[in-house]
Chain A
């Protein structure tokens, strides 16, 4: 080692630590970390496309086969494939949020992040933003492939698609917040929750069948789940060529409640992790 010199030289020009622009800067800095991660790993990129593409192919071929039957429900173009693509928006967004958070724990980086000027809500905002970017990377090529292979155009859902998208993404963030909170509190032993929590909704939010199929006592549960209104709306457009926006407003209102509850749960588990001293022990 050469002789040390005094630390003067280039001084850091520190920007104001608070305010909206400071918050945005930190969110962008963290999203940049996730972009670096994805850019540096071809395997991750392929993985993002792999499962949605396989799902789309499987359900697309099933739809093609069933279209030859006499059932008008399955004959209607794209009901199954549309369900798969919309479900994947919810599932992939949730996975994007949760696994990115877990990534910080795997890499034992959470202590660095939580001692930096990054606020917990900025961490959540960065995870949310990144989940949308990941979703775009995985779902846009798959939606294009669905159009090319099965002649199913997701855009045929029209403007409603934008509303469907946001309802599903907001639900995924609420689920992601709960999963992240539980993992914070109970460590990577609870990691499975990140993968399985969205599946808890699968039977109740009526992805592949109408709400009327459920027993009567279960229907209020289904209607209390925002994604149910998306799948009902999609079927209404594709089967009846009509669309009632009112249930989607209801779904957005429900999402607002779930998001607030999700953030409260995340914050509570984070504060418990600070009390229990587990933040320094988290890692592989």
Chain B
């Protein structure tokens, strides 16, 4: 009797393990087509939880904004997507590759820009772009640099030292570096910070055109609500490391009965939540379409 019970339990265990493996394999197959798949992602620094069990996916060709106050977990999330930070728990897949283990399988297909990193100040802009063209394996580096420089109107800066540029010029040069390999997934942290309104608007046009013309996927972290409203198909709102909203900008504004995304954001971060439509919990593996 006891023997049969053990045998049945062992069989059940094998079946469960095999079902788990099949589910994992299916998830792997599904995630290959997705630019981003994040599952139960958590990052803890000692007793502080910077990112807490977040899950989302991003569809090809969509523009998604990570929105949140300081310390909400935006930069940490982007850094985990890039493989710069190792998650404490959960999973990050970019084009199906586990970024903790196999990031080099897809590194050439993405690029990023962040105010937390700079290009070497003592190299000219052209030298910096040449180096990064080499690192990303761009064979026609000279033509591509010339083209990106023309496109972002930095031709006159090419022979200047990067460290001597204004903050706005540096942002455009950083963006040129991020576009050198024409990434399928572009991750931008505060892409228009330190730009004057005219240049910021111009950059947003460029990004929009880039995403549309290449069916590229854009994930940006921003404090600029107007920018998020204008660029994004979808907003993931983070607070204290958790996703508290995951909606289109329009739906978010409508559901809170406010005029702008900024009003919604301020309500949420100040805890003055007044959602007017039916309360909904964000679907953890919601698609961006």
- Would you call B206 an interface residue if the criterion is a C-beta within 8 Å of the partner chain's C-beta atoms? yes
Contact B107 A274 (CB under 8 A): no
Contact B131 A33 (CB under 8 A): yes
Q: Which residues 114-171 in A have Cβ within 8 Å of B in the complex?
A: 114-119
- Would you call B114 an interface residue if the criterion is a C-beta within 8 Å of the partner chain's C-beta atoms? yes
Contact A10 B140 (CB under 8 A): yes
* Contacts known (A32-B130, A37-B120, A280-B116); A118 close to B45, Cβ less than 8 A: no
Contact B209 A4 (CB under 8 A): yes
- A69: chain B residues within 8 A (beta carbon): none
Q: Which residues 270-284 in A have Cβ within 8 Å of B in the complex?
A: 271, 274-277, 279-281, 283
Q: How far is the CA of A40 from the CA of B84 in the complex (A)?
A: 30
Shortest Cβ gap from B273 to chain A (Å): 30
- B83: chain A residues within 8 A (beta carbon): 114-115, 274
- A112: chain B residues within 8 A (beta carbon): 117-119, 132, 177
- Would you call A58 an interface residue if the criterion is a C-beta within 8 Å of the partner chain's C-beta atoms? no
* Contacts known (A10-B144, A25-B137, A26-B134); A33 close to B123, Cβ less than 8 A: yes
- Among candidates A14, A33, A108, residue contacting B117 with C-beta atoms closer than 8 Å: A108
Q: Which residues 242-280 in A have Cβ within 8 Å of B in the complex?
A: 271, 274-277, 279-280
- Would you call A5 an interface residue if the criterion is a C-beta within 8 Å of the partner chain's C-beta atoms? yes
- Among candidates A6, A14, A33, A109, residue contacting B212 with C-beta atoms closer than 8 Å: A6
Mask of A67-103 contacts with B, CB within 8 angstroms, 1/0: 0000000000000000000000000000000000001
Shortest Cβ gap from B95 to chain A (Å): 12
Q: How far is the CA of A116 from the CA of B181 in the complex (A)?
A: 10
Q: How far is the CA of A220 from the CA of B213 in the complex (A)?
A: 68
Contact A15 B139 (CB under 8 A): yes
Q: Identify which of A16-24, A202-210, A231-239 touches chain B.
A: A16-24
- B198: chain A residues within 8 A (beta carbon): 1
- Among candidates B117, B139, B206, residue contacting A7 with C-beta atoms closer than 8 Å: B206
Q: How far is the CA of A177 from the CA of B15 in the complex (A)?
A: 47
Q: How far is the CA of A33 from the CA of B214 in the complex (A)?
A: 30
Q: How far is the CA of A112 from the CA of B135 in the complex (A)?
A: 10
Shortest Cβ gap from B135 to chain A (Å): 4
Q: How far is the CA of A104 from the CA of B117 in the complex (A)?
A: 10
Q: How far is the CA of A233 from the CA of B85 in the complex (A)?
A: 47
- Would you call B72 an interface residue if the criterion is a C-beta within 8 Å of the partner chain's C-beta atoms? no
Q: Which residues 22-53 in A have Cβ within 8 Å of B in the complex?
A: 22, 25-26, 28-30, 32-33, 36-37, 40-41
Interface size classification for chain B: 35 or more
- Would you call B261 an interface residue if the criterion is a C-beta within 8 Å of the partner chain's C-beta atoms? no
- Would you call B268 an interface residue if the criterion is a C-beta within 8 Å of the partner chain's C-beta atoms? no
Contact A36 B123 (CB under 8 A): yes
Chain B: CB-nearest residue to A117: B107
- Would you call A212 an interface residue if the criterion is a C-beta within 8 Å of the partner chain's C-beta atoms? no
Q: Which residues 119-149 in B have Cβ within 8 Å of A in the complex?
A: 119-124, 127-128, 130-140, 143-144, 146-147
- Would you call A13 an interface residue if the criterion is a C-beta within 8 Å of the partner chain's C-beta atoms? yes
Q: How far is the CA of A108 from the CA of B116 in the complex (A)?
A: 8
- Would you call A221 an interface residue if the criterion is a C-beta within 8 Å of the partner chain's C-beta atoms? no
- A118: chain B residues within 8 A (beta carbon): 135
Q: How far is the CA of A171 from the CA of B267 in the complex (A)?
A: 60
Q: How far is the CA of A33 from the CA of B127 in the complex (A)?
A: 7
Contacts A5-B209, A13-B144 known; 16 new A-B pairs at CB < 8 A: A1-B199, A7-B209, A9-B151, A10-B143, A16-B137, A30-B131, A30-B134, A33-B127, A33-B128, A33-B131, A36-B127, A107-B120, A107-B121, A112-B177, A274-B86, A277-B50
Q: Which 4 A-B pairs have the closest CB atoms?
A: A29-B134, A111-B117, A10-B147, A1-B202
Please name 17 pairs of A and B residues whose Cβ atoms are closer than 8 Å in the assembled complex, sorted by A: A5-B151, A7-B209, A10-B140, A12-B136, A13-B139, A14-B136, A14-B137, A15-B137, A29-B134, A109-B117, A112-B117, A115-B84, A115-B107, A117-B136, A274-B86, A279-B79, A279-B85
Spell out A's residues near B (CB within 8 Å).
1-18, 22, 25-26, 28-30, 32-33, 36-37, 40-41, 103-104, 107-119, 271, 274-277, 279-281, 283
